[in-house]
Structure formats: C-alpha cells, structure tokens
Structure 1
C-alpha cells in the first residue's frame, strides 16, 4: 500500500502544479484586474452641528455641486457590479469634529483644508487616485436679517391694470447665511409680470431674489419665505366685516362674556357682480365644546370663489372668546314696565295683561348680574298661533331678548292675557221735534154785541 502511494506521489505533485497554473490562467484571462474612473457627488455631514455653534459653510453651494473623480482598481467581475449599484462609492465630508471645536471667540471666517475620504463598500476594489484629494472649507459666522420686499413690474404699458398697486403677502423676508453674503444683500426683489393677472387670476406666486448693489443675485442664502403671493386688485374693491362662526355649545356652567375679532374687517376684490353680493366674510368654525376659559383662536377666512383679500395681513383672524363661570339670579319683572311688542291680535280686539309680575331667572357672571338694569329687557308675544281668534283668556309664551352676555334660564315663560272685542259706543238718535197744536184764540163776545 505504501509502495503504491510512493509511486503516485510525483503524479500528484504534477497535478497540483497544473491545477495552480490553470487557476492563475483562468483568473487572469476571465477576471482580470481593471481600472475605471467614476464621478461621485460630495456628501456633507455635520451641517446641523455647525449651525448650532453659530457658523455656516460659506462655500456650501460650491461643495454640494462638486463632483469627485475617483480612479478605481479591482477585478473585472467586481468592477462590473458598480453599474448595478451593488457596490457603493461615497465621497464624504464630515464636519462634525470641526464644528465641535468652534467657539464664539473664533474669527468671523475660518478657512480649512480638509482631505476628502472615499469609502467603497467592498474590499476588493481600491481607490487608486482621488481628484481633488482635498478641498478648502470656509467656516463663517452666521448672520440673519429681515428685508422689506420690493417689486418690479414688467409689461405694465400693455395692461389695462397697470396703475393698480400690488399687494404682497408677506411683505418681508428673513434671510440668513454667511455674514459676508448677508451683508452683500442690498434688496429683496420680485419681478411681477402683469400679463399673468386678470379678473379671473388675481393672485400669483413669485420667487424672491436677493440682489447686491450692482443688481447681481446673491446666492447661497436661506430665505423665509422663498416665495411671495402677489395680488393685483383687479376688479371692484369693497370693505366687509369678518364674521366668526361656532359649532357646539359651551360646557354647562360657563358663559361667553365678550367676543373680539381682529381685524374686524378686510378689503376684498373681484368681479363687480360677485363682490356686490357679499356683505361679510365668514371665518372657519370654532368648536366650543371644551372651552372653560378665555382663549384666542387663529381662524382662516372663507373666501368665495373669484374673490381675494388685498390687505397686507395673513389669511387668518384672531378671534378672542372671553369665557367666565356663570351664576344665576331671579328677578320679578312687571310686564308693563318692559318694552313689550304684541303681535297677531286683530285690530277689532283689545287685550289686558293679567299678570302683575313674572319670575325671570338670568344667568351671567356675578359682576354683570349685579349691574343688570331691567330696562334693558325687551320682549315679544305672538298671537299668530291662535286659530281661530276669539275673545277670551290666553296663556302665550313670552320671548325675552336679553343683552349680550346674559341668557334666560327658566324658559318658557308665559304671560296671561284677557282679550275682548272692542264694542263701539252708538250715540242715541236725536229727538224729533213734537208738533204742538196752535191754540186758536177764542174771542169771547162782550156784552152788547
């Protein structure tokens, strides 16, 4: 057995060498080492940490637009996987460590040269060369300021609406970024093309441009907002009241004592036939169910189609509801002493109120109840529901109108009436003259006749 193995040992060695040579042949012929140049965007990390220290990247826009050229080297099969995204190549610029070293005592602008690291998701492919190998990163102290937005109108001479002033919402922009760039900004400008507006298109959204003294755009700055809504007041203008709306009811035991709307009114614009029909603009409904204390709500305007508002304000109103815990108090009221309106009694009838007083329980705040004047009460009684109408006694509901901030608790309240038909006095006929017979004069003859 051992002789057999010893006789085959040379053949085994020869076979192993042939297999090794064959493996090297296949590797070099079928999966050779290749090189390939790729371009990858530069990704930046640590911006938030930088801003937290009060700094920004002065050349951030330039860095974000940069393409890093990487010469890769690796087996052909692995290199082919680059196209299918199975292998990732990233050029990462991590600024976190530099941001952590910055302090308020540092210079306004700091220029650092940082090496660009390239990360490849496989170990079989290497980066042979990187261009650029390093880059200049400029840290600059951040500055923020607010600018009034100016405007430039184009095609004005060709438009019938050229003389009208545009309304900008908002009218200011907040800009922030590197201090040197912010200080270059002379004007915040929008370009208004009048051809974009008509009676059907009253508003248009336009981007804000930041310009220096020479009228050149300053880029790389943050703008809040980035766009302005421009309204040209084309059509009929009209001032209308803002009317709040509510849904639900206040919880039991609470009462509204005051209502303040700010602004009270706005100016709207639109086609005359539409604007003429509008007397007020309603606000979005405010739910009352869970309100137990005074609150201010921001509510949107509900604008009809084809109508815009042209005030330099947000499309919201502040509605303040003053709420207080309520109490109640019972009053004895003489119906004859309040302003009472009686309707539904035919003209040929007259009425008499049988009640000398009625109990009315009012709910409000203690302060209002103490100062309440009974002369402020008004009431109505409607006999129109009485069919057929005849003379007699009636018990009719009294509808009380109380001042704002009060409510009637004990409803319904009834009044008792006695209704009688009016009987006209007929004067007696005048006495006819009585014919009195005329006594004939009797002549008594005298003696001697």
Structure 2
C-alpha cells in the first residue's frame, strides 16, 4: 500500500501544485484585484483650538477639506465600498506654520484588511490664518411673499436685534449687513419664527457661512399681521399767500392710501389729514408740487401697508388774480340809518375800488354794477369819522370793504336845500341823458 502511495511521488506533487495554481488562476479571473476612485470625502479638522486659543482663526483654501482617494482591492471588495466607508482627518496640532498646511490622514472604516492600498490625491489641508475679528451688526429684515388680501405686515420684533459676527479679519471687513428672511405668503394672523441669519457684502452677495460665526444661531422673530383699509388723503392749503394771487385746485397723487392697523385703530381712522403748514405757499407765484411723507401723520398703531407708497405728491394751483380798478363817486354811496338831525359829507368826491374778477368771460366792469353803502346807525353826534363802505357786486366779482372819512354836522335848512338841489340836479341829468340817449355808465376794462 505504501509502495503504491509513493510510486511516482514527483508526478503526484506536480499534479497537486498544478491544481492549486489552476484554482488561483480561476479565482483571480472571477475576482481580480482592481482600483477605484472615491471623491468628496470630507476632512474632519481636529484640535482647532490650537489656532483659536491664540486669538486667531483659520480659513480652508481651495476646498482642500474634501479629499479624493484611489483604493486598490479585489473587485468584490471595491463593489461593496462607498465614500462614506472612509474617514479623513487633519490634526491642526500638526500644522506646518511656514507653509500653512496640515497633513490629511485617510483610513477605511470597513474592509480595512481586504484593502491592499489607499492612495491620496489630496495630501494636505491648505489653510489661511488671520487675526480673529468680532463686529456687531443690527439685524435687517427681508419680508418675502405677500400676505392674504385685506391684510398687511405690522411691527416686526426681533430678539436679539443685534448680532456679533466672528471670523477672519479679511472676511468680517467685507460684511455690509446681517439679514433674516421672513416668509409671510398668505398670512392672515401674526407669525412666530426662529430664523437663521446670514451676512451680505456691499454688492449683496451672501458670505460663506463656513467662514464666519454668529453669537446666536437663530433670531426669535414675531411678525404682526394687521387688517388693511383704504383711506382718503386730504389737504387744505394755507391762506398765507402773496397779494394778487389766490389758491386754485389742489391735486393729490395718490388721493387714497392703504393703511394697516389694529381693529380699534382702523375703526376710527377715516382719513389722513395733511396740515396746512406742511406746504409753504407764502412766496409762491406758480403751481407748487411737494412730496409729503404720510407716515408722520399716521395715528399710533397704524402703518402704511406698502412702504413704497408712503409718499403723496400734493400739487397746489396758484393763480394770479384778475383785477379791475374803478372810480366810484361818493355821492353815489347810499347813506343808511343817517340820523335826521345830522348832515353827512364825504371828505373826497371819489374813491378807488379794486375788484377781483373770478370769471375769464368778464371783460368789462361797469361802475353801475357796484352798489356801495355806509351804515351810520351808530353815529349820533357831529364829528369826523372813519366809516366802512360795504359793496354789493355780481357773483363773478368780489371786493373787500374799504374805509373812508365822513364828516357829520348839524342838519340845516341850507344843507337840506343843497341836498334837495343835488337830488333835483341828478334827476334832471338822468332825464337829459335819457332823452339824448347818451350812455352814462363809466366802463373800465379789466386787467
């Protein structure tokens, strides 16, 4: 038996070796060793306090905090791996300060023993080290969307309303403002948010949040949603204008504005009144247009629904008065309530009256169109008095009362006779004028 086993021993050993070799060849053909690239493996930064404890801050450059590797292993192993099966780290305590680089170490978290080789395409974390800077910024609000029809955005309360931003000096110095976005689309009641702030540069570009940090992560935001109402805007011009001019039409654009407010405020608010002295007309000789900010005339608890519509353009028409000057004989002034014991005599034979013409169609004014009178009921004794002459004019003509001097003396038979003679003469003149068909009206062209 032993002889049979040892017979041709060399040939038998060769056969076994050949079989093993053939098995290995077949195995490698079915599951060969290969390579595969895994990209975007995040690098965890360790011991960053090595930098920050010195009042400095680092910024990762060239996206070197993501690493790409090439893994060598059997195909069956490679097919089971993903980028999440690898862990990359950079220990800041190992930083090369002359080059500002930190070695990156990559290890496999699965199949480590089946992986024959890991080759890194990124070997170092590149950083820029700067002095740490801190600055305070007020929180700005950016309202996004439109509330439900009939409602508006009221007060917005922020807590905190200022934030401290920390980061590299070169980054913090580029910050123009800190903002939170407030979504109000379709809102009809007050809102309560925790919102994440972000920073913008002067061009409105958002600054990478990885390069800065805020002292709080969110801002507590309360948004008041108020009812809306359209109300009238009114303005009555001041009467303090130059002589010879008058105020014409007043135009407001817009004439109404939408207001937001609490229910109590909206119930009482009927119109927004712009004070007369809001526009100075004292030296105006032509139309005046002034833009008025309505917010200063709103009651407490009310706001303009759309702040872009908070201004109103008020145009006041300034017109030059058309005037005419006529000479009126004092003998034609009616003396009312003259005491029978007194005789009245004006100090002058004529008075000049300035008329204001309010109708462009009136081209000529007759003195007969103007009726003048003096009320002497309060004068019972002789003397010289300043009296007010009142006028009755057609609707399109206006004038103001003027004063003149009148002398009252004891009535005598001669003064009565003279008065009768004047009346007789006037009647005679009137008869003659009528017979001769001579026009007696004193006509004055308007200017």
Q: Report TM bin, short chain.
A: 0.3 to 0.5
Normalising to structure 2: TM-score of the pair?
A: 0.42
Q: Which structure has the bigger radius of gyration?
A: 2
